[in-house]
Structure 1
Amino acid sequence: MSVKRGHYNTRQQAFVMELLEAHAGEALTIEEICDALSDRGSSVGRTTVYRLLGKLSSLGRVIQVADVRGGPSRYCRISGEGTYLVCLGCHRVFPLSCDGFETFVRHISGEHDFDLELRSTVLHGYCGTCARGAHEENQGITHAR
């Protein structure tokens, strides 16, 4: 076990990060993470996975995405603080870099005297593929455009 600036980097943490990197841009549930770790031959307990994801989230390496429809939270490796778009259909995560959004943030601050916290902001919606119903699991779902 190595120590860096007061944080422990364990083998289990490395397994979790490797898995999340292999699924870059995809938000996974705890169950999906545990199953994938098991499939890889890594025996990391569910409690340890929860603890590691909490730690990685607090370090800004992972983002926890609440399911707005009441399902389990999902976790995704991120490259840093910022705003992310999360597809409710396929659970892919897209970093947002948009001048229009920055204009919106300035508008909220200036016109409404409210400063948005954007270190790890998540906006939920449907990616173009899911909005067009191209993913099998989304057949028959209508999305506003």
Structure 2
Amino acid sequence: MSKKGGIQTRGSAWGSTPEELNRNMRKSIIDQQWHNFQETNDLECLAQICEHADYFGNEEVGVRLAGTLRDLSRRKKGYDTALDLEWALRAYDHVCGDPDWKGASKEACRLRVAEILGVEEAERQKWSERLRKKINERNDQN
């Protein structure tokens, strides 16, 4: 069971003007997500805090900070972090070098990597295509 709590909406989110209502709701979200982060150390909680914090009219700061935190998180689907991509590429190189897979197509090797890394079966085809693009990028750099 998750240690995270829900967003507290007991009266603290009410305000007499739309601006006060917005500020109070954002404060409630930030308070709750900070509590959640302290319980779980989940970077997604910090990312949500960044999205709701006040940057004096420059919302792009919060979006950029949240994106950076999400890039550091290993909970993302696929291989959106650099570490996940590195593991996927290593697994691909290993499968391609395996004598049992010598005659297999590149697509079959990518799908095998998806299976090894625990990608859900319904998502494997899309994941394989994204991995193909990353492999091509790696090959272009070398």
TM range, normalised to the smaller chain? under 0.3
The structure with more helix, counted as a fraction of residues: 2
Rg larger in 1 or in 2? 2
User: Per chain length, whose mean CA-contact separation is higher, i.e. which structure has more relative contact order (CA < 8 Å, sep 6+)?
Assistant: 1
